[in-house]
Structure 1
Amino acid sequence: MHKQPLGLNRRGFIRLLAITVAVVLVFYAIGLYLNHMGLQTLHGNMEALSERECSYIASQINLEVGNLITQCQELAADKELLRYVIAYPRLSAYQRIASISGLSDKLLRMKRSCDLLENAKILLPQIDRVISTEKSIYDTMDRSEYATFRQLVDGKLLRIAEHGDNLYVLCNPVTRGEPMFLISVCISPERLERRMRLLASENALDMTLYTPEGTVFFSAGTKNGLLSAGKEGSSLLGVQEESTFSAEAEIPLLHLTLRCVGTIADELQPLMRHRMWVCLLTALALVLLVIYLTYFRRYILQPLDTIADSLRQAGETGHFHIDRSDAGFDDLYAQFNSMMENLESLKAQVYEERLRAQQAEIRQLQMQINPHFFYNTLFMVYRMAQQDGNEDIARLSLNLSRYYRYITTIPEHDVPLRDEVNHIRQYLEIQGMRFSPRVRVHMNELPEEIAQENIPPLILQPVVENAFVHGVKNKQSGGVVEVSFIMEQDRFGVTVYDNGGTMDAENVRRLDERMRAGELAEGSALYNLYRRMELLYGDHYELKLESFADGLSVTILFPRTGR
């Protein structure tokens, strides 16, 4: 009796076709998912970059305006100006010319020192004259302009006001009655725009300044129609072919808000091409695999079906033997390994993106502090302390000013060890005055051989700060914080020791293990230092914790660069 064949031809083809389509769709989904993750990462990075760019421009403009205000106040207190306006009737013609020349030079120096300044004037109502930085440095005063400025000052010593198309910094020496003089500094929109363009790293950004009431002071760019779309900080506006991002930042001294708008159309093109190629290659793969399976069905499955029928018939007699071999799947294994290598390459790209994101986060943390207000305040405290003869307060304010100036002006790249050590010395002097006489601070001399070696900025301060916070802070007397230096042939280092005496050797060992295992809180200074050194130096550094009978020392060893 003859039985029906096993039907491997049809059943095997349908099964292989379903498996093939499923595998292709899985890899297609993976490709789309990675592409989508790339888009999200790009969007997030561009939003964060626009926020930092806008904040940086606004802070720099605010700082320059603050410096300009300080110069106006210094000019208002200038002895030569006061002598000129008070003793004018008694001055000879030569003395008047000399005073006018000196005051004109000071106005010109002020203009050269600030790119925002369009024109500076000293209006002298008592003699109906004006000294300015214009071609005619000494001319008859415009009474209408003077009256306008008096109205804008409104009895205040200092006022920043908008008049016409410009902003004016007005300095009035008295709050009542007719002033002896009035200082006017003009800031034009053109100079503001030019300065902001110089500060911006991306020239394609469109920028607008507007008042708290929503009035536009000036607007520059091609995307100004989008500038009115919300003022909630930063947003990403998708418009089919291009994505637009925006950010805002305040300029407190000018009472203005800066809004920046840009597009990431160019950055999106590679990802869009990648998505298109994923779709095209998936469709091409499906077509080729269907052709291949058709060939497979005709030249492999059909013969196998015939062989299976022959095997069934031969099995009835029990005199047929066949050995199974997987040699025909070698090409499939090779294709699979190739696919896995592609996946590993994509994973490496994702890891590199995350590493770059961590480096951007470090730069953002270094740029977060913006103590321009402290600069002016500390400068005033320093001047007042010097005038009163209080050297301790003068020294403290000077150290604080240098301390904040360093942490806000450091570059993104490495700095010489000498600069970092000077910064730590200022920090130690501040803490020494705070904890004196309970704690004594000491720093050894920095060897000249390693003074020019480069290290990351602000890498030593967390260790020194920990010596006070977790070491000698609660000691009633006899506290010691000491900073010393290590110089070897291949590397150099810094050791910070304190006699807080709160940890024994076993606790120090456990702390070191927890730090290296990543079990410390991410906000802790020691863990942040460890992660930063790992990212920057890999295996080419050393961070050591050592316990002593009365304290703890932390040593950081850096590789030498031969500088």
Structure 2
Amino acid sequence: MRIRSVKQWRLTIFPKLIIAFLLVIAPIYGIGLEMNQLGESSVRDELSKSLKSRVDFYLNSLEVENERLMSLLQQYVVDKDLQHLAFISNTMTIAEWSETVLRIQDKLQSIKSSSMYVKSVSAHILTLKRTLSSEQSITDKIDDDYQAVESVYKRRGPGIFYWNDRLFLAVAYPGSDLPNMQETFVLSIELNLETMRQSLQSFSDYERSGAMLINVERNWMLNGDGNGEVAPELKGFLNGRFNRNAMEGIQQIQAGGNQYLTAYKHSPTFGYYLIAYVPPEQMLGAIDKYRTLLWILSFISLAIIIAYSYWLYRLIRRPLYRMISGFRKVEAGLMEPMPLPKSNDEFLYLFQRFNMMMEKLKVLIHEVYEQKIRAQSSELKQLQSQINPHFLYNTYFILYRLAKMSDFDSVIRFSQHLGEYFQYITRNAAEDVPLEAEIRHSRTYVEIQNIRFAKSRIDVDFGELPEACKEMRVPRLILQPFIENAYKYGLESKRKNGRIVVAMEQRDEFLLMSVEDNGEWLTDEDLQKLEADLSFNSNEMEYTGMLNVHRRLRIRFGGDCGVSVERGEMGGMKVTLKLPLDTVGDNNQQQ
């Protein structure tokens, strides 16, 4: 019951009014939402590009500074003072040795002063086992910092080294990597990580934002005083990017329970990633508020639309409901006028025209119904009368031939069967007869034909009529014409072994009666012509014989019934009559 009420509500005008208003308003709000979305997307893209540009600029600055420092190292590694101190210091006087050391310290100090990213510059002279530094005078042993860069001899040119969370640039004296070459001296620069950390703080324009330098291979990290809680997750994210050979990009990730927009880029020189991260809501806060306000406006508008639609629905529902009730009464067959509404509006006009339509329908239905009944009755009688003279002509010719042959016994029997035949046709005016009587009449016709043809020449086999079908009411003379056609067109020229089989079969809700012969004169062209004539339905066509029966069955029982033809298993024609089984109950009620 509840499902039915919901279905009826869907068919009312109320949801249609809501849908109509929504179809008008929806495009406007759709455009507004799309504009907001485009604005958000545009701002997001611009901010992402800005963040990426800052990452590129900062990393490129570090790369340029690194290349400059590398160039200085390569320039000073061939300095004459360093070579003299490393190779011929034992031949130098104390004054020359002191002056050389001071000049070297001044050069190291100038390298340090050239960049804010340089913390200290050292020259590790292995031939003397001493270290000169920009921070202190010459030591009496190799400084411990040499451990960070001692592997520089295994490579040609300058290199970058991570040691104890410190970062060094170093280069060895040219040729030190050759076989059997004695290690001479190494120039190294320690980068100022604190200065780099302070420069990373420029990315922290928003709350919970920041930037980091992360080397995933050496497990080294430099945090720019940002959100340290997200560092492990950012490191894991960059490790995955490095494994997939993703050197740069922009991506939104989940870290520390929050969403972050990240821009990252890999430094081929230093081997670390620079990654900057910003919470999206910090950048798009105002746009999110606009979107929220737009949604609130949408819901308020929807509520107004529903309220206004309901008011219109109530305004027109009562007269519409009365009119629908009137139409339902018409569907049920009660064509009664409806009371006119009190309001003087369009509904008054509709009610007046409805009442006028009901009056005209009553008259038209009465006239059309009577005309149809009279037309069908007249057509049935006309079709039925067409077949009676046709058989009458044939019987007189047969009786004439028998009398001429002086076969008086056959004349007697023939006259008796002929009397029964015409008694069946003329004893009452009923249009329908029991099927059992129709079959008995057909047997009488066969007896008449047996007098005409010897039994040995044509054998007729009648099947059993199902008990439930004996009282079926059918039009007269629907079976005998097909038996007559079998005699006349199929077997008349057959001298012996002629056979006609009349079968009855119940199938689903229909009774199928077939008449089949073993005639040899049926051609495919004749069969196709008969099928075409049966399928052609025209009121102007003259119906005789087979077409007569087909027409009467379709008028009486509808388009599903009628006559069909095909070539039978015995080689001759097989005609099948299709009758509905429910005619038993219907006709018993009519009686």
TM-score, normalization by structure 1 = 0.46
Higher-RCO chain (CA-CA 8 Å, sequence separation at least 6): 1
Which has the greater radius of gyration?
Answer: 2
TM-score, normalization by structure 2 = 0.44
